[in-house]
Each structure stands twice: as C-alpha cells, then as structure tokens.
C-alpha cells in the first residue's frame, strides 16, 4: 500500500485502568513529496483522529501557512490545512522557529492533551529547534484559552462600510494575484478586528470549530468516507 511510503512512526501509549490509550505519531514530509503520498498521509491522519487521544508531531514543510489566519498560498499547503480542519486537530506551536516560519508542529486532537510547551534550542548543527512538551493522560478541564469569532455580536454594517471606503482599483493597481490577495487580506483582518469581537470556546467539543453544527459534522464524516479521487485506478 502507498501508506508505506510515508515517513512516519506511530506509537500507542497504553493508558492506565479507566483511561484510554494515546496515539502518538512522528512524521516528516519532504518538501518535494508527491501528491499521492500526501493523500496517503492524510488517510493515516484521518484514521488516527478517530482515537480518543492523538498527538501528531511533524515537520510538514509548509512555510507559507499563516496559522493566525488559517490561510496558505500553495495548493499542497491548503490541502494540508483542509486535512487538519476536517480532523479537528489543534496547532499548539505559536512561535516561528525557522526563518520566521512555523514548520515543526504539535497537533493534538483534544484541548488540554498537550501542555508545558518549551523551546530548547537547536541540537548540534541542526536547523530544527527542539520542542519539549508534556502529554497529559487526562485532558485538563481548565478554562479554554482558544478564542473564536463571535458573529452574533458582530457589527456587519460597520464592516461593510469600512471595506466600502477602500479605493480598491487604486489599492490593487499593478499588483499580481498573490500581492492583491495579501492587500485584501490585510484590510479584511483590520475590519474584522474592529467589527467582530471574540469569545472563548467552551464545552466538551472545544476541539471543533465554533461554526461546526451536526449537519456540517455529518457532511465532513461523509466526505472522509469517500474514496480519494482516482485512488482505485490502476490497482
């Protein structure tokens, strides 16, 4: 199977009586990895995300991802973000470690499963920085530190007004698609910060996006059950 081509190591940490097992994965994705190997890796992640507790540690080599905005410039990076969002994984590394990019990731599937994240500097001549953290056998029930946009209290009238004041023809004149997108995104985020307040996520489903309801969750599960396009060809 093409899953064997992925550079990954999976470990099951046996839980004590009354606690479930923890699945831990260490993965490296080469920058030039083929799409079919990416898809195989995403299938592995999708299967493992059904576990009660999963911690994914990896260098996926997607330097163009902006984790603050959950956006990416390249197609492969956007596919990776789609996989992370579909499986409700949480990215807990906040500081860039290499050339201003966040490449070495720690992704649990439950809030409170990973704690005490520390950076320990480089090992020898390696450009990678060591990351130390604790895997907590029982996810802590501390108050959520995750925030999400509170659209119910948003001022959409002001939001439209702020974006409507911008002379877009002049702002985007002479710019390519990527530069135009960055200009638009900057104005959009500024308006968002002024008009849409945030709130802390709470409850037992804090690993899910705030907009995820039962209907959308069902569609995501249906999507994950579908075979990868072209996956059965040539077999």
Cα(126)–Cα(107) distance, integer angstroms? 22
pLDDT of residue 234: 44
CATH 3.60.10.10 residue ranges for the chain: 2-141+211-225
Provide the 8-state DSSP code for 21: -
List pLDDT tens digits, range 13-58: 887 766 678 888 888 888 888 888 899 888 888 888 877 788 988 8
Query: What's the pLDDT band for 233 if we cut at 50, 70, 90?
Result: very low
Provide the 8-state DSSP code for 152: G
Q: Between β-strands 54-59 and 22-28, what pairing exists: parallel, antiparallel or unpaired? A: parallel
pLDDT of residue 213: 60
pLDDT of residue 142: 45
Residue 120 has pLDDT above 50, yes or no: yes
Cα(142)–Cα(27) distance, integer angstroms? 29
Highest CATH level, class, for 2-141+211-225 = alpha beta
What average pLDDT does this structure show over 142-159?
A: 77
pLDDT of residue 209: 57
């Amino acid at each position: 199977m093409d899953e064997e081509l992925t550079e990954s190591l999976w470990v099951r940490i046996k839980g004590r009586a009354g606690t479930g097992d923890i699945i831990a994965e260490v993965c490296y994705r080469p920058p030039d990895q083929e799409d079919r190997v990416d898809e195989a890796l995403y299938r592995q992640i999708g299967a493992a995300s059904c576990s009660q507790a999963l911690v994914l540690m990896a260098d996926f080599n997607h330097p163009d991802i902006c984790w603050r905005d959950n956006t990416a410039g390249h197609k492969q990076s956007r596919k990776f973000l789609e996989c992370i969002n579909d499986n409700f994984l949480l990215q807990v590394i906040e500081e860039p470690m290499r050339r201003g990019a966040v490449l070495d990731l720690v992704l649990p599937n439950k809030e409170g499963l990973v704690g005490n994240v520390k950076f320990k500097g480089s090992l020898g001549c390696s450009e990678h920085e060591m990351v130390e953290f604790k895997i907590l056998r029982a996810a802590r029930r501390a108050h959520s530190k995750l925030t999400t946009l509170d659209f119910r209290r948003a001022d959409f009238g002001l939001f439209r007004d702020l974006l409507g004041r911008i002379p877009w023809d002049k702002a985007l004149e002479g710019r390519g698609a990527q530069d135009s997108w960055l200009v638009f995104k900057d104005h959009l985020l500024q308006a968002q910060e002024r008009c849409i307040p945030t709130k802390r996520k709470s409850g037992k489903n804090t690993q899910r996006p705030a907009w995820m309801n039962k209907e959308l969750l069902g569609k995501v599960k249906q999507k994950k059950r579908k075979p990868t396009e072209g996956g059965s060809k040539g077999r």
